[in-house]
Amino acid sequence: MRYLPHTPQEIRTMLARVGVEGMDDLFEAIPGPVRLNRPLDLEPALDEPRLMDHLTALSDASAGPNMLSFLGGGMYRHHVPPAVDQLLQRSEFYTAYTPYQAELSQGTLQAIFEFQTIVCELLGTDVANASMYDGASGVAEAALMARRIKRRTHLLLSEGLHPEYIETIRTYLSGLDSEVTIQLVPLAADGRTDWQAAKDLATGKTAAVVVGYPNFLGCVEDLNAARALADSEDALLITATAEPYALSVLQAPGACGADICVGEGQALAVPPQYGGPGVGLFGASQAFVRQMPGRLVGRTVDQEGQPGYVLTLSTREQHIRREKATSNICTNHGLIALAMGIRTAMLGRQGFQQAGRRCLNAASYIRAGVEKLDAFEVPYAAPTFNELAIRSKGPDASEVLARLADRGIIGGIDLGRFRDDWRKDLLVAVTELHTRENLDQLLAALAA
Q: What is the pLDDT of residues 361-404, one digit of tens each?
A: 999 999 999 999 999 999 999 999 999 999 999 999 999 999 99
396 in the same domain as 332: no
157 in the same domain as 91: yes
Residue 28, in any domain of the structure? no
281 in the same domain as 239: yes
Helix (H) or strand (E) holding 210: strand 206-212
Residue 252, in any domain of the structure? yes
pLDDT digits (tens, 9 = 90+) for 286-317: 999 989 998 889 999 988 999 999 988 876 55
404 in the same domain as 323: no
Among 323, 343, 363, which residue terminates a domain? 343
97 in the same domain as 112: yes
Residue 384 DSSP symbol: B
70 in the same domain as 88: no
359 in the same domain as 321: no
Distance CA 14, CA 83 (A): 46
Residue 17, in any domain of the structure? no
Among 314, 343, 372, which residue terminates a domain? 343
Helix (H) or strand (E) holding 197: helix 195-201
Distance CA 99, CA 87 (A): 19
Coil, strand or helix: which one is 185?
A: strand
Residue 318, in any domain of the structure? yes
| CATH value at residue 422 | 3.90.1150.10
Distance CA 432, CA 207 (A): 38
Beta strands in 268-361 (DSSP E): 280-284, 295-301, 307-314
Residue 410, in any domain of the structure? yes
198 in the same domain as 283: yes
pLDDT digits (tens, 9 = 90+) for 106-162: 888 999 999 999 999 999 999 999 889 999 999 999 999 999 999 999 999 999 999
425 in the same domain as 310: no
- Among 3-17, 75-89, 377-391, whose mean pLDDT is lowest? 3-17
Beta strands in 68-194 (DSSP E): 68-69, 127-128, 154-158, 181-185
pTM of the model: 0.88
Residue 44, in any domain of the structure? no
Q: 1: pLDDT confidence band, cut at 50, 70 and 90? A: very low
Among 343, 369, 403, which residue terminates a domain? 343
Output the DSSP codes for 78-112: ----HHHHHHHTSHHHHT------GGG-HHHHHHH
Q: Determine the structural domain holding residue 92 and report its residue range.
A: 82-343
Give the pLDDT of residue 312: 87
Coil, strand or helix: which one is 387?
A: strand
Residue 36, in any domain of the structure? no
293 in the same domain as 155: yes
Distance of alpha carbon 376 from its chain centroid, rounded?
A: 30
Q: Within 13 A of 422's CA, how many CA atoms are on the CB side? A: 19
242 in the same domain as 371: no
What's the total number of domains in the chain?
A: 2
154 in the same domain as 104: yes
Distance CA 79, CA 88 (A): 16
Residue 151, in any domain of the structure? yes
Name the CA radius of gyration of the chain, rounded: 25
| CATH value at residue 239 | 3.40.640.10
Does position 100 have pLDDT exceeding 80, yes or no?
no
Q: Looking at the DSSP assignment, which residues form a beta bridge with residue 71?
A: none
* Share above pLDDT 90 across residues of the chain, in percent, rounded to a whole number: 77
